[in-house]
Amino acid sequence: MSPIKIFDTTLRDGEQSPGVNLNKPEKLEIAKQLERLGVDRMEAGFPASSQGDFEAVKAIAETITETSVTGLARTNKKDIDTAWEALKYAEEPRLHLFLATSPIHMTYKLKKTPEQVVENAVEMVGYAREKFPQVEFSAEDASRSDWPFLAHIIEQVINAGATVVNLPDTVGYTTPAEYGEMFRYLRETVPNIEQVELSCHCHNDLGLAVANSISAVENGATQVEGTINGIGERAGNASLEEVAVALRVRSDYYPYSTNLKLDETKQTSDLIAKLTGMYVQANKAVIGRNAFQHEAGIHQDGVLKNKQTYEIITPEMVGVKANALFLGKHSGRHAFKDRVSELGIELSEEKLSEAFKMFKELTDHKREVTDDDLYTILMEIQTET
Ligand code: KIV
Ligand code: ZN
């Protein structure tokens, strides 16, 4: 299995979700949980963006020992110096420098020629390496950049000392085949590419961030960037738990492994949802409330006979306590009987039929039948005699 590094940016790109604002203790609490989850790298923030973020990144860098801590910086000396002040006591200080390389960003946002962009990138990567042992260079909007230009700037920043090259799909525009092809092209074209780690960073505007990330891995990326619960700018970033679980569940197909302790997933997801106020949609892959619930009678019956009939991820794998069968109007007698015995109640076949009939009547006006409802039905049945 080839190892894939997980770079978590929940505390930086994730925090860029509209309406999210984490304070220092909250960021520190999330950082500790990310360390327990086993992420290889965590982007704690953007130190030059505010005094609050500087303090938070510094506190995280001074606390976290098992994960390499990084901070974001633009390609100017002030940002790099500020990031160094925040990160210099980290176990392995790491800098994440970014500069846009697409025609639209260079022309309208940076107002720089491609030559000026290369010059600025090379100068600042070299400057950053005077302090930081690890410097990642991100070619912002790489997926809308001209490939030969990308190859040129990558070759130059590697010569200047970059240790990781990241190719973001900043606006979530690419598709799996195209993104994979871009990685393959650059690996075949840039002569010194073997000297660095290649990284992918995908946004989810077209709902393709996880698929694009996996395609990048298949084409040579050895680091995946993303966030827990997929939070982030606009439609969010690649959801790291989805990438890691896909690689684990499909290890029959993908020869890649991550260091994530997947049974910490639920705990991490819950903490981030609580502190950001961004609750996870019920049907979200891997971690949504419904991800392990089966409602249709035929499905419930199958799962009770053999979980693998309808379940490709075990709840235990991602730290979800029990697999709950949703009791509603589609539930069958088998699932109902199972829940009744889970509640520790033994019923004769006759009583069970009676209780099941009452349960079905209840589902006509109640979407989900809870344990409390079941107790009420069962008490009625017991007291009838
Ligand atoms: O999406 C993006 O391009 C980014 C960069 C700062 C790496 O988040
Ligand atoms: Zn991003």
For residues 310 and 62, which has the higher predicted lDDT (pLDDT)?
A: 62
Which residue's CA is minimally distant from atom 8 of ligand 1? 13
How many angstroms separate the alpha carbon of residue 307 from the centre of ligand 1? Answer: 40
pLDDT band at 289 (very low <50, low <70, confident <90, very high): confident
Q: What rounded mean pLDDT belongs to the chain?
A: 95
Q: What does DSSP assign to residue 201?
A: E
Q: b/e string for 312-348 if b means 16 or more Cβ within 10 A? A: ebebeebbbeeebbbbbbebbbbbbbbbbeeeebebe
Alpha carbon distance 31, 11 (integer Å): 8
Determine the Cα–Cα distance for residues 168 and 139; give it in Å rounded to an integer: 7
93 lines ligand 1 (CB under 6 A): no
ipTM: 0.99
pLDDT at 373: 86
pLDDT reading at 375 higher than 90: no
Structure letter (DSSP) for residue 191: T
Question: Does any ligand 1 atom lie closer than 6 A to the CB of residue 292?
Answer: no
Q: What angle do CA 217, 219, 225 make, to 5 degrees?
A: 30
Residue whose C-alpha is closest to residue 200's, from 71, 181, 349: 181
- 140 touches ligand 1 (CB under 6 Å): yes
Average pLDDT over residues 122-134: 98
- State how far the Cα of 37 lies from the Cα of 259, in Å rounded to an integer: 9
Q: Name the least confident of 58-72, 221-235, 287-301, 369-383.
A: 369-383
Q: Two tokens at 123?
A: 């100068």
Percent of the chain with pLDDT over 90: 83
> Ligand 1 test: best mutation among 72, 200, 223, most atoms within 8 Å of CB?
72
The mean pLDDT value for 263-289 works out to 95
Question: Is pLDDT above 80 for 385?
Answer: no
Q: Where residue 76 falls among pLDDT bands split at 50, 70, 90?
A: very high
Distance CA 100, CA 324 (A): 47
- How many CB atoms sit inside 10 A of residue 165's CB? 26
pLDDT at 126 (0 to 100): 98
Instruction: Answer whether residue 177 shows pLDDT above 80.
Output: yes
Q: How far is CA 188 from CA 158, 194, 219, 220, 348, in A?
A: 15, 10, 11, 11, 70
pTM: 0.88
Largest Cα separation within the chain, whole Å, is 89
Q: pLDDT band at 43, cuts 50/70/90?
A: very high
The pLDDT, as a whole number, for residue 324 is 63
Query: Can you say whether residue 230 is alpha, beta or left, with left for phi > 0 and alpha for psi between -120 and 50 degrees?
Result: left
Cβ of residue 301 lying under 6 Å from some atom of ligand 1: no
User: Taking residues 2-28, what's their average pLDDT?
Assistant: 96
- The string of pLDDT tens digits covering residues 311-345 is 999 999 999 976 567 888 889 998 899 888 877 77
CA of 30 to the centre of ligand 2 (A): 19
Q: Which residue has the tokens 């930086």?
A: 12
The Cβ of residue 50 has, within 10 Å, a number of other Cβ atoms equal to: 11
- pLDDT (tens digit, 9 = 90+) per residue, 199-244? 999 999 999 999 999 999 999 999 999 999 999 999 999 999 999 9
What does the block give as tokens for 72?
Answer: 């974001």
Q: Is 330 marked as binding a ligand? A: no
Position 172 scores a pLDDT of: 98
- Which element (helix H / strand E) includes 53? helix 51-63
Please choose, from the candidates 4, 6, 136, the residue with its C-alpha nearest in 3D space to the C-alpha of residue 71: 136
